Amino acid sequence: MCGIVGAIAQRNVTPVLLEGLRRLEYRGYDSCGVAVLQDGEPLTRNAHPIFSSGEIALVHNGIIENHESLRETLSALGRDGNYLASDTMALAGNAEHFIYLEEGDLVSLSREGISIADRDGNPVAREIRELEATKAAVGLGPYRHYMQKEIFEQPSVIADSTEHLVRFAPALFGAHANAVFAEIDSVLILACGTSYHSGMTAKYWLESISRLPTSVEIASEYRYRDSVPNPRTLVLAISQSGETADTLAALKHAQVLGHRHTLAVCNVAGSAILRQAALHFLTRAGAEIGVASTKAFTTQLVALFVLAATLAKRRGMLDAHREAAMLGQLHHLPAALNGVLALAPQIIAWAGSLARKENALFLGRGIHYPIALEGALKLKEISYIHAEAYAAGELKHGPLALVTEQMPVVTVAPNDALLEKLKSNLQEVRARGGELYVFSDADSKIRSAPGLHVIRMPEHYGLLSPILHVVPLQLLAYHTACARGTDVDKPRDLAKSVTVE
Ligand code: G6P
């Protein structure tokens, strides 16, 4: 929600601060301020001998004529000062190495160096890491919005996530994962927003592939209710930012209740949630700037599918043949996603109609119910159209009363075991004049008709189908928002990282 960027360096730091603030804007602000201290006049402390870190003293006589080239060389090495920020993205391109502070740490910055003291005032050394964010492209490239860029990055970030995956092994989740996985008998997932929807999707995989009873809770609910802890439960916190206050507090609450087996799936290295959990999985979505999460969601799904497969294998429920088939499907995902992204022109045509509505219903069944929830969330977040998602079997228990010619009903209709049931639900909508927008698989045999619009996905993707089916819903929300002229990347009143309750 808030962001800080600071610098102490020999060069003019104002552009660094302004650019840093601009990059932090995505976290959601309504105000900002800058303060700069300058001391240009000749003073004793500026005069030579010039000391560095108290170890090197430089004395020179006269004018340094090649000072410009020296300055350029030294700036290109990047060791011209020290910076601080609440988000590494603010400093990408200006700093190469970074240190994450622990809770309660106090840091003192000078041009020459930094010193850190812990909450008790004792000097401490914290690990210095290479700044990965410098590698992440923070520019828009040919795209109009970050959200659009991030939707189209999904094939490459998923390829990046799976390219080294040759088997499902506990070590993917940390050195102690094998011992932890041997002890667990159930899973409790804690998350917020889009990450909660990836948790809901994972429940289907964990129960069907690994046969582990799984519950999924909204972090802000779990932390305040009485629950009955089972010490053999794996507590799984999912978060793009790794900084969401409710998810972090829920994880700490679980630990206070006695849960020792904790795993964090996060997209930001060194983030608080990642550091709080015993086991980790770092998703490889890269920096996500658009407030509405897209590529972080699909990379979370990949991570959670890998977790389900790993647990299944560890529990003797995955033979080599099935493991190879699952790995093959994961490796083919980027190509399949490219096929889905090619549907954009058809989706843009639908978005034009949807943009004129003020309400929409989303339907899905089984593992695609959380995908319908995610589609509705995307639409309401960025287009401000009121959207609700239902498990299609629930239509008759309430939402059917809302269905008229004015109600668009977006349906996720893959060719799975529930398709025939879903077709009956669609008939109920048609009978009331509702306008259906159906994403079906190529072989679903649902044909377009008056009031029934169909876009066919290129292929049915079995267990991993949710990863493909969410993409057209992201595109639909994006193009609907564009048609309504909203601020797609920074929707009103929403923030990327919600670090307060
Ligand atoms: C905010 C963001 C959402 C995100 C949610 C959880 O509400 O706008 O896009 O899903 O926080 O964030 P996390 O970083 O924990 O996944």
Among residues 31, 307, 56, the alpha carbon closest in space to that of 169 is found at: 307
Ligand 1 atom closest to Cα of residue 293: 9
190 & 162 share domain: yes
Span from the CA of 499 to the centroid of ligand 1 (angstroms): 10
Residues 348 and 328 in one domain: no
Q: Who wins on pLDDT, 246 or 432?
A: 246
CA angle 390, 210, 191 (to 5 degrees): 50
448-469 residue pLDDT tens: 988 999 999 988 899 999 999 9
Dist. CA 298 → ligand 1 center (Å): 14
Instruction: For residue 195, give the ligand 1 atom closest to its CA.
Output: 16
Look up residue 261 and give its two tokens.
């087996």
268-296 average pLDDT score: 95
353 and 323 together in one domain? no
Residue nearest to atom 3 of ligand 1 (CA): 193
Give 426 or 98, the one with higher predicted confidence.
426
Per-residue pLDDT at 300: 98
Higher pLDDT: 391 or 41? It is 391
- Cα of 195 to ligand 1 centre, how many Å? 7
On whether residue 310 sits in a domain, the answer given is yes
Q: Is residue 498 part of a domain?
A: no
50 vs 370, more confident: 370
Active site residue 135: no
Distance, CA of 410 to CA of 355 (rounded, Å): 13
Write down the pLDDT at residue 135: 46
CA-nearest residue, atom 2 of ligand 1 = 496
* Alpha-helical segments (H) within 121-224: 146-152, 154-162, 177-183, 193-208, 219-222
Residues 297 and 407 in one domain: no
Instruction: With H, G, I as helix, E, B as strand and everything else as coil, classify residue 77.
Output: helix
Query: Is 499 within a domain?
Result: no
* Cβ neighbours for 358, distance < 8 A, ≥ 6 positions apart: 385, 386
Q: Which residue among the candidates 149, 203, 490, 496 is catalytic per the annotation? A: 496
Indicate whether 375 and 407 sit together in one domain: yes
Residue 173 shares a structural domain with residue 308: yes
- Same domain for 151 and 62, yes or no, is no
* Upstream peptide bond of 399 is cis (omega within 30 degrees of 0): no
Q: Is residue 112 domain-shared with residue 164, that is, in the same domain?
A: no
Name the closest-CA residue to atom 15, ligand 1: 239
Q: Please tell me whether residues 93 and 181 are part of one structural domain.
A: no
Checking if the pLDDT of 76 tops 60, the result is no
Read off the tokens for 468: 């493909």
Last residue of a domain, one of 292, 317, 335: 335
Residues 300 and 177 in one domain: yes
What pLDDT was estimated at residue 15?
85
Mean pLDDT value across residues 417-422: 88
Active site residue 2: yes
Among 2-6, 182-186, 271-275, which is the least confidently predicted range?
2-6
pLDDT at 26 over 80: no
Domain harbouring 285, CATH code:
3.40.50.10490
Q: What is the mean pLDDT of residues 472-490?
A: 97
Is residue 363 a part of any domain in this protein?
yes
Judge residue 185's burial from the number of C-beta atoms within 10 Å of its C-beta, 0-12 exposed, 13-18 middle, 19 or more buried.
exposed
What is residue 92's DSSP assignment?
B
495 is a domain residue: no
Q: Are strands 114-117 and 106-109 parallel, antiparallel or unpaired?
A: antiparallel
Structure confidence by residue, pLDDT tens digits, 335-362: 999 999 999 999 999 999 999 999 999 9
Domain boundary among 314, 335, 356: 335
Whether residues 352 and 331 fall in one domain: no
Phi, psi of 47 (to 5 degrees): -80, 155
* β-strand partners of 254: none
Give the residues surrounding ligand 1 with Cβ less than 6 Å away.
Answer: 192-195, 239-241, 244, 247, 291-293, 494, 496-498
The answer on pLDDT for 134 being more than 70 is no
What is the per-residue DSSP string for 204-219?
A: HHHHHTS---EEEEEH
Q: Which two tokens stand for residue 498?
A: 């919600």
**From ligand 1's centre to the CA of 147, what distance in Å?**
14
pLDDT level of residue 52 (50, 70, 90 thresholds): low
Give the Cα separation of 378 and 194 in Å (integer). 9
Q: Which residue range forms the structural domain that includes residue 42?
A: 5-130
- With contact defined as beta carbons under 8 Å apart, do 289 and 212 qualify? no
